[in-house]
Amino acid sequence: SDASFLGLLLLMALGYTITRQHLMRRERQLLWGFFLLYLLFGLLHSMCSSPVHCQGFLLAFYIVKFLITFCIIVAMNANIERLRAGHLDVPSPNPTQLYLKLMILHNIRWAFFAVLVFPIILMFVEVAVLSWEQAWVGPLLQEMLYLFVFVLIGYTFRYHRPLPAAHPSEQEPLTGPADNDEPGGDQGQDGANVVPMGVGGDGDASQQLEEGQLGGGGAW
């Protein structure tokens, strides 16, 4: 159970299903390598009979656990800094997505901090405070710690109802009548061009009629 829990924390620290959907090949190899070494040295330590070999297996077991813990810290801080900078492996991330994913990583970091620090505090309490008659308190507190961490992780990954998407307005903008600024003349209501008087057409005929009346040589 301890190995599975550390593997889960390492996956979440790497951002799997939080900031990205796939891990790189080297990250998968590193994850499986740590997991197998952790299980191997744990089994060898539990089955060994020689004190010298048992100490060597125990030392190797804690070294692998320390490396896993170090990778969790580095990967989690790197992903938090990426989210703070606004980088997310989606086409167009919005501030709401960045905030929710940042809160998820913050809760995971607090859970990991509790798992990392609380056993050290509990060890000092068992040595300095508790008596042999109260030895059951230590395992009880440790199990309560893991229960709290599991509840916190479950609450962090609870279902969020998706927000409704904002639809654009269906109303079309009102447009007024377009003005015709062409040099060919103004345009009336029926679309025909209005030609001003005195410029070709009927204006020339009126001018010729007036000249004929003044000269007396009209056909009247």
Per-residue pLDDT tens digits for 7-26: 888 888 888 888 888 888 88
Per-residue pLDDT tens digits for 135-172: 888 888 888 888 888 888 888 887 666 655 545 554 44
Total Cβ atoms within 10 A of residue 199? 9
What's the rounded Cα separation, in Å, for the pair 118 and 97?
Answer: 32
- Tell me the one-letter amino acid at 26: R
Per-residue pLDDT tens digits for 160-204: 666 555 455 544 454 544 444 445 444 444 444 444 444 444 444
pTM over 0.75: no
What's the rounded Cα separation, in Å, for the pair 116 and 36?
Answer: 21
Query: Which residues 6+ apart lie within 8 Å of 73 measured at CB?
Result: 13, 112
Helix or strand holding residue 18 (H, E): none
Backbone angles phi, psi at 159, to 5 degrees: -75, 130
